[in-house]
Amino acid sequence: MAILGIDIGGTSIKGGLVYRYGQVDKLFSLPIDKELSQEEQIEALIKKIKETYNDNEFEGIGLGIPGAIDNTLGVVMYSNNLKWENLPIGRMLKHSFPGKKVAMTNDANAAALGEAKFGSAKNEQDVVMITLGTGIGSGIIINGKLYEGNHGRGAELGHQVLVLDGIPCTCGRKGCFEMYASATALVRQANEAIKENPECKLALIAKNGEEVNGKLIFETAKAGCTTAQKVVDNYIKYLGEGLINICNVFRPSSIVLSGGIANQGDYLLNKLVAYLEKEHYGYLPEVKVEIKIASLGYNSGIIGAATLLLK
């Protein structure tokens, strides 16, 4: 039987049946109605599940949720994006689907589990996944198991200070990795460069009204704009130093990158790997850390969440 994988995002909830080899079937998507209370939002999800699936189609429900989760209690402690707090989602689902197992983790952890089981780090036992988005999310697999820090409250690789006394972070610290290597950080770095080089190609495109985002910055660099190239090279340095920090603690067999910037594929990967090989501490060929791009794509959250319960 399948596991129902549920991927809760900032604006919608996606779900689907996930089978033993990672196949996905009967997908649904439910917009989150922020006018509802948090409990009513979960009731809407339960209704949607009951409409979409027969009770005998799945044997358990796995959830990936953006925020701090107490996976023992089945409670979302808080989620900034969703404005959820102390939400006993595990108990609500168990009550509505008696006899089904329910498991949950945060969305970055779920994605890491999926990539380590079915994606680009398939069947590897020691994997770190880094999501380069608005912030930097991280999921750590040690010995085939999710590592969430003591009490499931740690493993915040995005909130490691890399630049002492650097840019203030949303977390309250200064100079966190995510303030320099997230997609948001790349755009900020590009906008600063545009101000200083108002005649460069990137600046002219931006003046034309195009949104300065990761894709545009990388494409303009590829097209030969030296300002954009400098922005990208500098970004690679921040990202690279943060990844070496991770290597020096976990030395995983792979680091898997996801998020919009990871879509830059080989151009990103080649530059990044060159940087790592140049700067790598205690670089040991026999325990080389491979850098990979996440491969599960749009359904990675659903697959990862289901992986919590897949045998």
Summarize as ranges the residues that interact with a second copy (CB under 8 A): 68, 125-126, 142, 147, 149-151, 153-157, 159-164, 166, 171-173, 180, 238, 241, 244-245, 247-253, 279, 281-282, 284, 286-287
Q: Toward a second copy, which CB reaches closer, 14 or 159?
A: 159
Q: Toward a second copy, which CB reaches closer, 171 or 223?
A: 171
- Count CA atoms within 13 Å of residue 97 on its CB side: 29
Closest CA relative to residue 84, chosen from 74, 75, 97, 73: 75
| H runs (alpha helix) in 11-106 | 38-52, 89-96
Q: Toward a second copy, which CB reaches closer, 56 or 164?
A: 164
Smallest distance, a second copy to C-beta of residue 166, A: 8
Smallest distance, a second copy to C-beta of residue 162, A: 6
d(CA 26, CA 241) in angstroms, rounded, equals: 41
Contacts of 204 (CB under 8 A, 6+ apart): none
Q: Toward a second copy, which CB reaches closer, 245 or 263?
A: 245
Smallest distance, a second copy to C-beta of residue 61, A: 26
Smallest distance, a second copy to C-beta of residue 158, A: 9
Q: How far is CA 44 from CA 32, 41, 258, 267, in A?
A: 9, 5, 30, 43
Q: Toward a second copy, which CB reaches closer, 87 or 128?
A: 128
Smallest distance, a second copy to C-beta of residue 73, A: 12
- E strands, 37-142, where? 58-65, 68-70, 75-79, 84-87, 101-106, 127-132, 136-142
d(CA 2, CA 51) in angstroms, rounded, equals: 17
Q: How many other C-beta atoms can be found within 10 angstroms of the C-beta atom of residue 290?
A: 14
CB 109 within 8 A of CB 235: no
Smallest distance, a second copy to C-beta of residue 58, A: 31
Q: Toward a second copy, which CB reaches closer, 107 or 156?
A: 156
